[in-house]
């Protein structure tokens, strides 16, 4: 009879499904007993030497399937069902459990946000649990489904090879987002010196928020992967995989360095933009102050000659009005010329 092995818990216990049956069976070798486990498998599964279960939903049905089909710790399943957690690596006798966060781009908010992916790792299987937020995972699964050669390449050895490829693709997926952020920074740099400082405030804050979210997402990757390399010795040949997993560490360092440079650049542009806004505001205030200084003597002069007093000079003169107007004009032109020569009016 043909069947597909889902998992091996011990030399005497197998989980498998029969062709055309969406039911999981448990075979106990000690008792030569086949036990049907009547619940559906709401997952995508690929198999060769290693089995990959790609759980792209975290509803009650999926978590219940994981609970019944595998002897996972209840706290791990609780982490899978919950919202984004902090990255972590838990080591058990039969498997490893790892939580990682990766950035995803929200087109509507025009911002980078966090998305969680959980891994259950054993010598015989790899289970990925996420909310279908990673196009790169979907494309990779489709590649394996479409080609026996590709499937054998990544599933023909142990699950560490498959895990490396998934992590490598997820990390490489970060670089287009970094390039997009670079373009946003260059656009801001071009616009802040063309009189669009106020319009750039919102753009700068959006980019700064994305960089902060990106940095928070990637902050724990290097240590988690290094610990994973040590923990993998329990299940895999670490000498063979060391070079590959060190490449993942190098990718995380590269991403972190790019984010550090982007943060410094956007902070500098933010400070420059604020300085330009303050400078232009000061220019406006200086101009208004100068005009206030020019107008104040005229107002004072008009108020003095407007008083209803006896024997007011020039008031009863035939050309008194024109004398007063002339005094005002001469004073105005004199102050304007003085301010102009001082360079206070531009």
Q: What's the chain look like in SS3?
A: CCCEEEEEEECCEEEEECCCCCCEEEEECCCCEEEEECCCCCCEEEECCCEEEEECCCCHHHHHHHHHHCCCCHHHHHHHHCCCCCCEEEECCCCEEEEEEEEEEECCCCEEEEEEEEEEECCCEEEEECCCCCHHHHHHHHHHHHCHHHHHHHHCCCHHHHHHHHHHHHHHCHHHHHHHHHHHHHHHHHHCCCCCHHHHHHHHHHHHHHHHHHHHHHCCHHHHHHHHHHHHHHCCCHHHHHHHHHHHHHHHHHHHHHHHHHHHHHHHHHHHHHHHHHHHHHHHHHHHHHHHHHHHHHHHHHHHHCCCCCCCCCCCCCCHHHHHHHHHHHHHHHHHHHHHHCCCCC
Q: How many domains, in total, are found in the chain?
A: 3
Q: In terms of domains, do 227 and 110 share one?
A: yes
Q: Are residues 28 and 154 in the same domain?
A: no
Query: Which domain does 306 fall in, by range?
Result: 284-341
Examine residue 151 and state whether it is found in any structural domain, yes or no.
yes
Last-in-domain residue among 230, 254, 277: 277
Per the domain annotation, does 315 fall within a domain? Answer: yes
| Residue 87 sits in the same domain as residue 232 | yes
Final residue of a structural domain among 258, 277, 296:
277
Q: Residue-wise over 291-324: b if at least 16 C-beta within 10 A, else e?
A: eeebeeeeeeeeeebeeeeeeeeeeeeeeeeeeb
Nearest to 64 by CA among 50, 54, 78: 78
Rounded CA-CA distance 97/221 in Å is: 15
Same domain, yes or no, for 311 and 197? no
43 — pLDDT class (breaks 50, 70, 90):
low
Q: What pLDDT is recorded for position 304?
A: 75
How much is the pLDDT for 166?
94
112 shares a domain with 12:
no
297 and 165 share one domain = no
Of the candidate ranges 2-6, 12-16, 222-226, 326-330, the one whose mean pLDDT is the lowest: 2-6
Q: CB-side exposure of 65: number of CA atoms within 13 Å?
A: 23
* Closest to 167 measured CA to CA, from 52, 272, 244, 237: 244
Same domain, 157 and 240: yes
Residues 51 and 85 in one domain: yes
For residue 238, the model assigns a pLDDT of 62
Examine the domain organization and report whether 303 and 261 are in the same domain: no
Residues 260 and 308 in one domain: no
Q: What is the pLDDT of residues 78-96, one digit of tens each?
A: 988 887 678 999 988 888 9
pLDDT tens sequence across 181-218: 999 999 998 888 887 778 888 889 999 999 999 999 99
Query: Residue 59's Cα: distance from chain center in Å?
Result: 24
Residue 38: the pLDDT is 42
Q: Which of 254, 277, 300 is the last residue of a domain?
A: 277
10 and 148 assigned to the same domain: no
Please, which pLDDT band fits residue 30 given cuts at 50, 70 and 90? low
Domain assignment of residue 130, yes or no: yes
Within a domain: 346? no
| Domain shared by 149 and 297, yes or no | no
Question: For position 235, which CATH number holds?
Answer: 3.30.460.20
- 98, part of any domain: yes
CATH number of the domain that residue 294 is part of: 1.20.58
């Amino acid at each position: 009879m043909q069947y597909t092995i889902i998992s091996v818990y011990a030399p005497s216990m197998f989980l498998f499904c029969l062709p055309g049956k969406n039911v999981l069976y448990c075979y106990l070798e000690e008792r030569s007993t086949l036990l049907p486990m009547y619940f559906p498998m709401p997952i995508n599964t690929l198999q060769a030497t290693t089995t990959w279960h790609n759980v792209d939903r975290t509803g009650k049905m999926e978590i219940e399937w994981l609970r019944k089909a595998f002897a996972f710790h209840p706290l791990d399943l609780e982490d899978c069902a919950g919202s984004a957690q902090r990255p972590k690596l838990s080591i058990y006798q039969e498997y490893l459990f790892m939580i990682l966060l990766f950035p995803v781009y929200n087109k509507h908010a025009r911002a980078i946000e966090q998305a969680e992916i959980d891994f259950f790792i054993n010598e015989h299987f790899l289970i990925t649990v996420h909310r279908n937020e990673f196009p790169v995972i979907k494309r990779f699964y489709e590649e394996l489904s479409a080609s026996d050669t590709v499937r054998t390449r990544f599933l023909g050895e142990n699950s560490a090879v498959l895990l490396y490829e998934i992590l490598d693709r997820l990390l490489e997926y970060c670089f287009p987002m970094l390039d997009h952020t670079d373009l946003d920074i260059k656009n801001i740099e071009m616009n802040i010196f063309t009189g669009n400082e106020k319009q750039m405030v919102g753009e700068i804050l959006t980019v700064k928020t994305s960089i902060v979210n990106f940095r928070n997402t990637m902050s724990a990757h290097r240590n988690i992967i290094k610990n994973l390399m040590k923990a993998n010795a329990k299940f895999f040949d670490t000498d063979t995989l060391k070079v590959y997993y060190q490449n993942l560490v190098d990718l995380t360092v590269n991403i972190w360095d790019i984010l550090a440079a982007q943060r410094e650049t956007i902070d500098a542009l933010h400070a420059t933009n604020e300085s330009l806004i303050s400078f232009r505001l000061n220019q406006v205030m200086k101009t208004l102050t100068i005009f206030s200084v020019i107008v104040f003597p005229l107002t004072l002069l008009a108020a003095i000659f407007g008083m209803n007093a006896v024997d007011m000079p020039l008031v009863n003169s035939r050309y008194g009005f024109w004398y007063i107007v002339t005094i005002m004009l001469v004073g105005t032109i004199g102050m304007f010329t003085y301010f102009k020569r001082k360079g206070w009016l531009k």
